[in-house]
Amino acid sequence: MRKQQITKAVIPAAGLGTRFLPVTKASPKEMLPLVDKPLIQYVVEEAVASGIRQIIIITGRGKRAIEDHFDISFELEEILKQTGKKRLLPELRNISEMADFCYIRQSQPQGLGHALLCAKHVIGDEPFAVMLGDDIIDHPKPALKQMVEIYENHHAPIIGIQQVEKSEVHQYGILDASVTKEGLYKIKTLVEKPAVADAPSDLAVIGRYILTPEIFELLEKTPPGKNNEIQLTDALKELAKIKSMYGYRIEGSRYDAGDKLGFLQATVEMGLKNPQLGNKFRNYLKGLSL
């Protein structure tokens, strides 16, 4: 059997962004600016740096700005040429040329599992990555690339995880797993948002996955759960029963940019790393009376 490479990534972006209301009432959460780029661009750049060339974005009503961002803007380019700002053109053109983009509209937000089912006809029988735009992960080796390398050794589903404080386990899907080597765990099952006393570990699922096509059949059989949504975690539990599945502890600083505090933390950290703004921003922060 030919071992297939990971060439496609699905980015679900049809959610309502309720944690950021009212700013997300008319603007996609994925387009919130993190320093000088929208959140979703960081995720796309991570995918491309990990060898992905086909980006499948699941969109919904009011998300047209995402498509426009990754499209060519001839009018804007012409204005930049006429106003002596041609130096900006390569960076802008790179946004639309960094990958092949495909957009699939989810008629209504029915959960992460349903969003993935929307991409079934594009994925076919290939393994693929899933990347949540809420999670910004900063590391010299992109988070997804770390996972792709694990996949190439095991050719099995890989779930990105991180250790969290016991007090935080109720916010995440938590692994029941055994260690295979440092940073890699063989998954027995997953427990969705358990109470501290019921949590089998402190290993939490975060927004990076490499999945195999079997997940689609399982998602199609998964009944709607909380909020009438099809939960990916429910299908992953079933997948773990029939196929080896691993959790990989991702290296890097992870920011939950879907949370207001996490977004602010990411803004500060990314601002300090920005080559044009970093030093001035650092001096500004030092001068604050905190």
Q: What is the pLDDT of residues 8-63, one digit of tens each?
A: 999 999 988 888 889 888 899 999 999 999 999 999 999 999 999 999 999 998 89
Give the integer Cα–Cα distance in Å for 246 and 129: 14
Give the integer Cα–Cα distance in Å for 281 and 290: 15
Q: What is the pLDDT of residues 109-157, one digit of tens each?
A: 788 999 999 999 999 999 999 999 989 999 999 999 999 999 999 999 9
Six token digits for residue 172: 């995440």
Classify residue 2: in a domain, yes or no.
Answer: no
How confident is the model at residue 214, as a pLDDT? Answer: 94
Cα angle, residue 158 at apex, residues 156 and 160 outer, rounded to 5°: 175
How confident is the model at residue 1, as a pLDDT? Answer: 43
How confident is the model at residue 158, as a pLDDT? Answer: 97
Per-residue pLDDT, averaged over 161-169, amounts to 92
Classify residue 106: in a domain, yes or no.
Answer: yes
Q: Which residues pair with 33 in a beta bridge?
A: 38
Per-residue pLDDT, averaged over 83-107, amounts to 91
Report the percent of the chain where pLDDT is more than 90.
76
Give the integer Cα–Cα distance in Å for 85 and 76: 11
Outline where the chain has alpha helix (H): 39-49, 64-69, 74-82, 89-97, 112-118, 120-123, 143-154, 214-221, 232-242, 260-273, 278-286
Structural domain that includes position 71:
8-286
Contact status, residue 129 vs residue 47, Cβ threshold 8 Å: yes
How confident is the model at residue 71, as a pLDDT? Answer: 93
3-class secondary-structure state, position 267:
helix
How confident is the model at residue 2, as a pLDDT? Answer: 53
Contact status, residue 62 vs residue 54, Cβ threshold 8 Å: no
Tally of structural domains, the chain: 1
Classify residue 137: in a domain, yes or no.
Answer: yes
Classify residue 206: in a domain, yes or no.
Answer: yes
Average pLDDT of the residues of the chain:
93
Classify residue 89: in a domain, yes or no.
Answer: yes
Six token digits for residue 67: 């498509």
By the 10 Å C-beta count (0-12 exposed, 13-18 middle, 19+ buried), 33 is classed as exposed
Q: What is the pLDDT of residues 217-243, one digit of tens each?
A: 999 999 887 778 899 999 999 999 999
Residue of higher predicted confidence among 91 and 47:
47
Give the integer Cα–Cα distance in Å for 236 and 174: 12
How confident is the model at residue 226, as a pLDDT? Answer: 73
Looking only at the bridges linking them, the beta strands covering 37-38 and 100-105 are unpaired
The pTM (predicted TM-score) of the whole model is 0.93
Classify residue 154: in a domain, yes or no.
Answer: yes
Classify residue 92: in a domain, yes or no.
Answer: yes
How confident is the model at residue 228, as a pLDDT? Answer: 81
Angle between helices 89-97 and 74-82 (to 10 degrees): 170
Q: What is the pLDDT of residues 260-274, one digit of tens each?
A: 999 999 999 999 999
**Which CATH number belongs to the domain containing residue 278 in this structure?**
3.90.550.10
Classify residue 1: in a domain, yes or no.
Answer: no
Per-residue pLDDT, averaged over 60-71, amounts to 92
Q: Which residues pair with 162 in a beta bridge?
A: 204
